Chain A
C-alpha cells in the first residue's frame, strides 16, 4: 500500500552564503522512506539553510543531495513539488485568500486547461482539511486565524500536495503547549498512516525525543551528529552543542531535558 519512495540522501554537503563563510560543513546522512527526522541545533547552525538545500531553494557548495536516487537539482519545479512539500515559517499572502483557497493551491500544477480543479482535487483538499481539523474555518481568510490555526492550514496544504516527503521549518514556533503537541500528532499520523517521510526543523528537543526516530544535531562549529534519537539527544551532546547546562531525566520510558539558567534553583 505504501509506496517505497521518499528517500533523501545527503552526501558531503557544504554550504556558505559568501565564499568565505561556511554554514554547513561536510554533512552526510540518509533518510529512509517513512522516517520522522528532527533537525535540531542552536540558532545560526544552518537548520533552515539545510531545509532550503533539501528542496532545491539553494544549491550546495560541494557535495550532492539525492531525492529518490536522482540529484535534487535534476527535478523540474513541478516534478519536485510532486515529491516534496514544504511548510515554511510565517508565510502570509498580501491579499486575503480563504483557507480552502489556500489549501486548493496545492493542486495548482494539476489544474485543468482552464485553470480549475477537478473533482478529485476537491476530494483531496476535503480530506486534508478534515485531517488537520481546519474544515471548521474553511471559508475564513487566513489573515484572521491564530498562529496555530494558520500553521495547520499550511500543513493541510502540504498534505493536499500528496508528496512522499514533508519538510517543515519550526512548525511549532509561537504555539502554546496544546497546539505544539497537536501539530506533532498530526505529523506523526501522516508518517504512520500515509507512510510519509517527515523532516522537521525544531527547537523543541523534548518533542523531538517523543515523536522522532532520528535526529540530526547541527552545531555552530560545523560539527554535526546524526543517528537514532536516543543516541544523539543525550544530556552530554545537548550541553556541548547548545553550550548550556542541561538536566536530563526520565519519566517512565521517556527522556526529557530541561535547560538550567544561571538562576536555576537546583543547579547541579
Chain B
C-alpha cells in the first residue's frame, strides 16, 4: 500500500523481533515474579520479627513461654513479657511501618515530588496539634480504651489534610504546586501553634507530648492491633489495584488522561486511602519520621518505579525497617528507651545515602 517507509517483513526484521521478545520478557514485571518477591520479603519480615521478639533487656526463653499458660501468668514472667509486651509492640511496629512506607509511595506519586512523605500535606502538625490540645486541656477520659491523645491526633490529622486539600483545590484543580505550598504553609502554621502551646503549658505536660512528637511506640492491646492491621491491610490492597494508574500519573495529569486513566478518581481515591492510613498510624504511634520518605526511595532504587511492585514491597520493607529500628530503640539505652523516630533517622539516613550513591547512576534521574 503506497509508500512503504519501514522495511516490509524481511528475515532481518523477523530476527529482530525474536530478540526483542526476549528483552520484553526479562524487563517487564510478571505476576509470578511479583508474587515470589513479595513472598520472599514477607519471609524476611517474619524472621526479623521473630528475632526481634527474642531481643530485649530481659532474656526470654521460648521454652518457658510455650510451657507456661495464661491462667497463671503471674508465675510465668517469660510468657508475660513475650506475649503481652514484646509481641504486641513488634506487631505495632510492623503495622505502622507498612502504613507509613505505603503512604509515602502514594504521596510521592501523586505530588510527582521525590521529597514528599506522608506528612507533607499537614498530617503531622495536625496530629501534633490534636495531641497537644488534649494534653494542655488535661482530658483524661477514654474512648473504647484509647487515650484521648490518639482520638484527637486522628481527628487533627484528617481535619488538616482535608483543609490542605480544600485550599489546594481553590488554587486550581490540578496545580500540584498550589497543593504542596498549602501543605507546607499549614504545616508551618500549626507547628507555630504547637510551639506556642508548648511555651505556655506546664513542663510535665509538655514532656508527654514531646515524646509523642518524636514517635512513641508503646504496648497496645490486641484488639487495637487487629483493628489497625485490618485497616492498613485493606488500604494496601486497595492501593495495589491503583498501581497501573499511579504509574501513568507519574507522567503528569494530562498525559495520564490521554492514555485513558481517569485521573480525578484515581487521585482522590489514592489520596484518601493514604491519608487515612497515615492518620491511623500516627494516632497509635506518634510522629515517626523518615520511614515514609526513605523506604519508598530505597525500594524504588533497587526494584524500579513500577507501583504494582513498589507498593507491596515498600509496605513489607517499611515493616521490617520499623520493627528493627524499634528494637534498637528498646535496647540501646536500656533500661530507658529512645523515641523510635530518633533511631529511624540516625540509622536510616546513612543507609539511604549508601543506596542512593550505589544505585542512582543506574536509574537516570529525570533531567
Contact = CB atoms under 8 A, between A and B. Distances in A.
Interface of A: 55, 57, 76-78, 80-82, 84-86, 88, 91-98, 100-102, 104-106, 108-109, 111, 114-117, 122, 125-126, 129-131, 135, 138-144, 157, 161, 185-186, 188-189, 192-193
Given A139-B27, A142-B364, A192-B1, 13 more contacts: A57-B254, A94-B113, A96-B364, A97-B250, A101-B306, A108-B261, A109-B259, A115-B241, A115-B308, A116-B31, A130-B16, A135-B20, A143-B366
Nearest to B250: A93
A67 to B, nearest CB: 13
Nearest to B264: A77
A108 B366 contact: no
B146 interface: no
A76, A92, A108, A142 — most chain B CB neighbours (10 Å): A108
Contacts of A100: 23-24, 27-28
B13, B20, B306, B308 — most chain A CB neighbours (10 Å): B20
A115 B363 CA distance: 24
Nearest to A194: B1
A127 to B, nearest CB: 8
Interface in B172-207: none
B32 to A, nearest CB: 10
Contact of A114 (B31, B260, B363): B31
Contacts of A129: 20
Interface in B20-52: 20-21, 23-24, 26-31
Interface string B229-259: 0000000000011011101101110110111
Given A108-B244, A186-B5, A77 B20 contact: no
| Interface size class, chain B | 35 or more
Contacts, number: 156
A112 to B, nearest CB: 9
Given A93-B251, A101-B306, A55 B258 contact: yes
B107 to A, nearest CB: 12
Given A96-B365, A111-B244, A188 B5 contact: yes
A178 to B, nearest CB: 14
Interface of B: 1-6, 13, 16-17, 20-21, 23-24, 26-31, 108, 112-114, 240-241, 243-245, 247-248, 250-252, 254-255, 257-263, 300, 304-306, 308, 363-367
B2 to A, nearest CB: 4
A82 B259 CA distance: 8
A77 B113 CA distance: 25
B31 to A, nearest CB: 5
A152 to B, nearest CB: 12
Given A81-B259, A94-B113, A106-B259, A188 B3 contact: yes
B254 A143 contact: no
B3 A192 contact: yes
A102 B255 CA distance: 12
Contacts of A93: 250-252, 305, 366
Contact of A98 (B108, B304, B365): B304
Contacts of A57: 254, 257-258
A98 B254 CA distance: 20
11 contacts: A81-B258, A97-B306, A115-B308, A116-B30, A126-B20, A126-B21, A142-B364, A143-B367, A186-B6, A192-B3, A193-B1
A157 B367 contact: no
B4, B28, B254 — most chain A CB neighbours (10 Å): B28
Given A81-B260, A109-B259, A139-B23, A94 B4 contact: no
A76, A91, A96 — most chain B CB neighbours (10 Å): A96
Contacts of A130: 13, 16-17, 20
A81 B258 CA distance: 6
A50 B4 CA distance: 31
**Among all A-B residue pairs, the 6 with the closest Cβ atoms:** A81-B260, A95-B305, A144-B364, A109-B260, A143-B364, A189-B5
A59 to B, nearest CB: 13
Contact of B254 (A88, A97, A131): A88
A94 B250 contact: yes
A161 B240 CA distance: 23
A249 to B, nearest CB: 24
A108 B304 CA distance: 18
A189 B6 contact: yes
